Structure 1
Amino acid sequence: MGVGVSRLEVIEGPSGRRRRTKAERARIAAESMMPGVTVADVARKHGTTRWQIYDWRKQIRKGNLVVPESVASLPVFAELMVDDSSAEAPAAVAGSVLEIAVGDVVIRAGAGVDEGQLTRAIRAARAAAS
């Protein structure tokens, strides 16, 4: 005596799995990288998991996802550390060099550096460090 299926129900509607565009994934990942924001909060806000966001962030670092210009152009602040060990005379300030450390990367810039060029260098260093 064979046992068969006497009734089969087909449930229609969303499966719970969302399909996001590359732009959406990049925007959500970029949002999670903003100062003072936690990945867990962003994941809850957008109905995804922390691990998914970490994966999208990794894809941004590899260049598989591109952060929208509207997000990339937002100012991001870095910690400022002053080294008091070498007291310089005020006359030396005019020819001073600005040093910015981002992770293991140190960016040195003279007083007349172009702001756009410095911004691009900092963004590149941040992308490599994260």
Structure 2
Amino acid sequence: MDAHLDASSGGLATRLDVLMGPSGRLQRSEPERARIAAESLMPGVRVVDLARKHGTTRWQIYNWRKKLQSGELALPESVAALPVFAELLVEMAPAEASVPLAPAEIEIVVGDVVIRSGVRTDEQHLTLVIRAARASAP
């Protein structure tokens, strides 16, 4: 709410205008703040660019990140269930190797946790393991 005071030289207000309506500040929902904070934690994302994209300040995003990491903000289940993509490195075997190679292993690094799996591992099981590793990562 905005107010305008029209005061005389004696210090008494002779007229008070009260303007009702939005204050111009954008009120974001908790899920939206959590989603923006989570987006800011993605590799390669610059907070200043994200703030500009969403029309907010860097300091708000830093505050939301802190709340997200402490558990004060929580991602909605619909967002938390979305897959998060990670960098994939493929190491090629030397061309001179004449020995047939065993099926390759998958190695996934989540924070300090390394998950190694065969290529034939069930996708649902691997998803559960990755989620558990992400939940335990600092």
TM-score higher than 0.5:
yes
Does residue 1:105 correspond to 2:105, yes or no?
no
The CA distance in 2 between the partners of 1:55 and 1:127, in whole Å, is: 20
* Corresponding residue for residue 7 of structure 2: none
* Corresponding residue for residue 6 of structure 1: 14
* Corresponding residue for residue 80 of structure 1: 89
Match of 2:124 among 116, 124, 128: 116
The CA distance in 2 between the partners of 1:61 and 1:120, in whole Å, is: 21
* Corresponding residue for residue 43 of structure 1: 51
Deviations along 1:3-32, one digit per CA (max 9) or x if unpaired, are 433333323332233322222222323333
Q: Partner amino acid for 1:98?
A: I
Larger CA deviation: 73-82 vs 42-51: 73-82
The CA distance in 1 between the partners of 2:53 and 2:135, in whole Å, is: 24
The CA distance in 1 between the partners of 2:68 and 2:98, in whole Å, is: 44
Percent identity, aligned pairs only, is 52
1:113 is paired with a residue whose SS is coil
Q: Partner amino acid for 2:22?
A: P
1:117 is paired with a residue whose SS is helix
List alignment gaps of at least 5 residues for structure 1.
none
Contact 1:30 1:71 (8 Å CA) reproduced: no
Does residue 1:18 correspond to 2:15, yes or no?
no
The CA distance in 2 between the partners of 1:56 and 1:14, in whole Å, is: 23
Deviations along 1:19-71, one digit per CA (max 9) or x if unpaired, are 22222222323333455543222222222122222333343334431245256
Q: Higher RCO, 1 or 2 (CA under 8 Å, sep at least 6)?
A: 1
Contact 2:35 2:79 (8 Å CA) reproduced: no
Q: Partner amino acid for 1:66?
A: L
The CA RMSD measured in Å over matched residues stands at 3.6
List alignment gaps of at least 5 residues for structure 2.
1-9
Match of 2:102 among 63, 76, 93: 93
Cα distance change of structure 1 residues 122 and 37 upon mapping to structure 2, 3 Å threshold:
same
Kindly indicate which of the two structures has a greater share of residues assigned to helix.
Answer: 1
* Corresponding residue for residue 69 of structure 2: 61
* Corresponding residue for residue 27 of structure 1: 35
